[in-house]
Structure 1
Amino acid sequence: MNISSVPSHRLGESLVRVLDKNGNPVADKELVLNQKSHEFLFGSGAFAFLEFEGMKADPDRLEKWLAMFNYGTLPFYWGRYEPEEGHPHYDQLMTAAKKLRANNVTPKGHPLCWHTVCADWLMKYPDEIIMDKQLERINREVTAFKGVIDFWDVINEVVIMPIFDKYDNAVTRLCKRYGQVGLVKEVFAAARAANPEGTFLINDFNVSPKYEKLIEDCLEAGVEFSAIGIQSHQHQGYWGTEKLYDVLKRFGRFGLPIHFTENTLVSGSLIPEYIEDLNDWQVEEWPTTPEGEERQAREWEEMYKILFADPNVKAVTGWDFADGAWLGAPSGLVTKDNRIKPAYTKLHNLIKGEWWTEGEVIRTNSDGIVNIKGAKGTYEIEGCQGVITLGDKPSEVTVTL
């Protein structure tokens, strides 16, 4: 680890006492320190962990994914999760979530309430029944996955929700009927009632003052957000430092954790500026290019460093791990055939390089004590029993050789 490259607020320290099996101090001994996890949530879409109808996950792709990330987003789009009322794809999502957990990855469910990819079968019901079913859906998922998935995007893209007119849907109806704040308050109350210890986010791509006003109004109404979710699908070009710092300042004023929940940078041509809705960009092929891959790597590295340096940011999730996902874009860190792109290497060098401790030689003093400093997370000393956690406050830990 390069301590100087880690922002001070990301560092923790611990005074570690090393004892032998008889309880005596292990004095003046060289030992090896290895980091086991980051406290910061470095994430990616984890859709590749799903297995549906005989389709198996790609082991090579999963290996590359797990070598980088400790946070994965799983899809709970209502229309796909429960295409037929009363028959959700519970088993497939639970299997994927448990697989992530088994690999020390924190899974997140996305989303519990959204007007897009909504369940069409809801449309046969009046608004009051739709609301009941929406709240029941939240209670069902949050309760059923409690202890496996405790992070949720509760509601998605509320800013545009009441004026969304691409097609009629049940959730836009709810938003018009009960209002933005009224709907947000109801869905968050349902999520918290189902899992009081859960982490629950509001999430939006609209980072204009409209989103700030919505958050203000919700907070005044007593809504408890665990974190503010920010999307940055940059298919039309990198935001750049000025916009990143502006967004961080404006949403940082709420004093809440910020999660950059969905982030996309492409390694091919950009969507033209005149396209207002990215979903309208439909092309047969969207290839990655060598020049685009170098650009994508530079942009990802800069963005990661800026977000990691901001104390309010607690999580960053790249949306597409592999090319060819949403919109068919070359937006992944690996290509369709799992070739590692320069952006993967850049980020890996940060997450598991500059900001990571591996094989660091440490030495106890005459009392068997060694002071450890590094990125917040968990650590182990080779040959010793006991986990060392570096957090917000200095700790004192005893391990046994």
Structure 2
Amino acid sequence: MPDDSMQHRIGEVTLTVLGPDRRPLTDRVVTVAQQRHAFPFGNIGFDFVSLVGGPPPDAAGPAFGGATALNLDRLGDLWLNLFNTATLPFYWGPYEPRPGTTDIERLTRTARWLADRGVTVKGHPLVWHTVQPPWLLDLDLDEVERLQRNRIRELVGGFAGVIDVWDAINEAVIMPVFANGDNAITRLARSRGRIAMVRMAFEEARAAHPAVTLVLNDFDLSSAYECLIEGVLEAGIRIDAIGLQTHMHQGYRGEEYMRGMLDRFARYGLPLHLTESTLVSGHLMPPEIVDLNDYQIPDWPTTPEGEARQADEIVRHYRSLMAHPAVASINYWGLTDDGAWLGAPVGLVRADGSRKPSYDALKDLIKGQWWLPPTEMRTGSDGTVVVRGLYGDYTVSRTPFTVRPGQTAASVQIAE
């Protein structure tokens, strides 16, 4: 069972077990088992797009990802045995390489394939200045804005019911001053301002799907992001969660750093989503590199020493995050090293499809220490058993029930 730092994620339910006649079953052995975590343990699902959706039309496809060493069955087993939430790529450039030609069919098939297997699907991102279609550069800003608004409405409204969580805008702190190549969205952000860009993303998305969950996402965890959040909230823009990226290619930042950072952003009273977490299993990126994109080398191998370090650090990282009550989601950025972002060995699985120690270490947490396996319990004289575990979906003798916040009692009728 989890340690004391996890008490805010654990429920205890007195479960009354009823028979077919709706009378309590007394002194009866029943089997209780966990089926799913309520907490979103996520990873990107980019590698599924080609395997499920087929080859990309007109060179469309995910900007990152694309494992080639694994077939769908093997990738699916590795992914689904550990994660319950998938982020799919909707980068504007590969999604719409030519005006009106989109990758909607492949992404729809992929999203539905995941949803059919009980996975919560998230889209990333609606607005971003990077990975843009070059044809936007020839348009005036009013037309760029019109197309950006249309894109938001079409994606959020069109995928409603299959994808109900989106990174609404990505990296707005740097958006108006981004200087690593020309793009139309940076020019739009420079003209309109950050808060206006955030307003556009959130209000257009919510108009298309009022029940959608929208995340403000950024890698800049400095006071600049805090200032943006404060300005957005003061402007009356409703955001559902604060997204925090932690790509740690230069080494694990440590529990003390993470607690301090989480405390700073928790003060806004909003759920914190750790949207992009990575830890490398090879040599660390040199500390003098400021922009991670500036370090791209021909070969960045995983090593036995690095894999041992990654396994230790991923356990520390997840324990630290789960101990903080404001953290509402954790998303790792890559299952395999094959096609990983920047070529870094950040995956939990090697490029050849074999598991790294980090995969097994994380599985030991999510599906081991934080999981209730099939357990025999005997009902009391009143037909009850006490079930204690992390919030989520459970069964008693194959009949479903839930453990959720605020719930202390439930009854379940089972078939004998």
Q: TM-score, normalised by structure 2?
A: 0.93
| Alpha-carbon offset, residue 302 of structure 1 | 0.3
Which residue does the alignment assign to 1:128?
A: 142
Identical-pair percentage: 44
Match of 1:256 in 2: 270
For 2:253 and 2:210, locate their aligned partners in 1 and report how far apart those are by CA, in whole Å: 36
Write the deviation string for residues 307-337 of structure 1: whole angstroms up to 9, x where unpaired: 0111110111110110141111111000011
CA gap of 1:87–1:397, structure 2 versus 1, over 3 A, is farther
Q: Secondary structure at the match of 1:203?
A: strand
Matched, 1:225 2:227: no
Partner-residue secondary structure (3-state), 1:146: coil
Selected match of 1:321 from 335, 349, 355: 335
Which deviations, in whole Å up to 9, do the C-alpha atoms of 1:78-99 show, x marking residues without a partner? Answer: 0011111111111111111111
Q: Distance in 2 between matches of 1:327 and 1:304?
A: 23
Per the alignment, residue 112 of structure 2 pairs with: 98
User: 2:199, 2:411 → 1: CA distance?
Assistant: 42
Task: Give runs of aligned pairs for residues 261-272 of structure 1, distance below 5 A.
Answer: 261-272=275-286
Unaligned runs of 5+ in 2: 57-67
Deviation at 1:3, TM superposition (A): 4.5
Residue of structure 1 in register with 2:350 after alignment: 335
* Correspondence for 2:73 among 54, 59, 65: 59
Cα distance in 2 for residues equivalent to 1:359 and 1:365: 19
- What aligned pairs does 1:37-186 form with structure 2 within 5 A after superposition? 37-51=36-50, 52-53=54-55, 57-186=71-200
Please give the alpha-carbon distance, in whole angstroms, between the structure 1 residues aligned to 2:328 and 2:3: 20
Which whole-Å deviations, capped at 9, do the CAs of 1:209-240 have from their partners, x for residues lacking one? 00000000000001111100000111111111
The answer to whether residue 370 in structure 2 is matched with residue 355 in structure 1 is: yes
Structure 1 residues 23-75: Cα deviation after superposition (integer angstroms, max 9, x where no partner): 22211111111111111110111111112418895321221111000011100
User: When the two structures are aligned, how many residues end up with a matched partner?
Assistant: 399
Once residues 353 and 81 of structure 2 are traced to their aligned partners in structure 1, the CA distance between those partners, rounded to angstroms, is: 14
Aligned to 1:198: 212
Contact kept in structure 2, 1:36 and 1:377, CA below 8 Å: yes
* Whole-angstrom distance in 2 between the partners of 1:47 and 1:370: 42
Deviations 1:244-284 (A, max 9, x none): 11111100111100000001100001111222221121211
Contact residue 26 and residue 383 of structure 2 kept, 8 A: yes
Aligned counterpart, 1:289: 303
Structure 1 Cα separation of the partners of residues 277 and 100 of structure 2: 33
Secondary structure class of the residue paired with 1:356: coil
- The residue matched to 2:13 in structure 1 has which SS? strand
Following superposition, the deviation at residue 342 of structure 1 comes to: 0.8
Aligned partner of 1:20 in structure 2 is 19
Aligned mates of 2:335, 2:239 — CA distance in 1 = 27
Which residue does the alignment assign to 2:413? 399
- In structure 1, the partner of 2:390 is 375
Question: Which moves more between the two structures, 388-397 or 81-90?
Answer: 388-397
User: CA shift at 1:15, angstroms?
Assistant: 2.5
Deviation at 1:187, TM superposition (A): 1.1
- Alpha-carbon distance between aligned partners in 2 of 1:176 and 1:64, rounded to the nearest angstrom: 43
1:22 Cα deviation after fit: 2.0
Supply the AA of the counterpart residue of 1:336. A
**In 2, Cα distance between the equivalents of 1:290 and 1:165?**
38
User: Is the partner of 1:211 in helix, strand or coil?
Assistant: helix
| Native 8 Å contact 2:391 2:402 kept in 1 | no
Whole-Å Cα distance in 2 between the matches of residues 353 and 126 of structure 1? Answer: 55
| 2:55 partner amino acid | E
CA distance in structure 1 between the aligned counterparts of 2:344 and 2:154, rounded to whole angstroms: 34
Cα distance, 1:388 vs. partner?
A: 3.0
1:5 deviation in Å?
5.6
AA of the residue aligned to 1:262: E
SS at match of 1:370: strand
Q: Is the 8 A contact 1:386 1:400 kept in 2?
A: no
Query: Is this contact kept in 2: 1:82–1:89, CA < 8 A?
Result: yes
Amino acid at match of 2:352: D
Q: 1:392 to 1:174 in 2, by over 3 A?
A: farther
Query: Which whole-Å CA distance do the structure 1 matches of 2:401 and 2:410 have between them?
Result: 11
Kept in 2, the 8 Å contact 1:374–1:390? The answer is: no
CA RMSD of aligned residues (A): 1.5
2:11 alignment partner, SS class: strand
Counterparts of 2:71 and 2:271, CA distance in 1: 33
Query: Which segment drifts farther, 210-219 or 30-39?
Result: 30-39
**Residue 22 of structure 2 contacts residue 413 of structure 2 at CA under 8 Å; is this kept in 1?**
no
Distance 2:384 2:284 in 1: 55
Cα deviation per residue 1:342-386 (whole Å; 9 max; x = unaligned)?
111111001001110111222211121222221001100124x34
Residues 1:6 and 1:250: Cα distance change in structure 2 (over 3 Å): closer
Counterpart CA distance in 2 for 1:360 and 1:4 is 19
Deviations 1:189-217 (A, max 9, x none): 00111111111001011000000000000
Partner Cα separation in structure 2 for residue 397 and residue 100 of structure 1? 31
Per the TM alignment, residue 6 of structure 1 is displaced from its structure 2 partner at its CA by 6.3
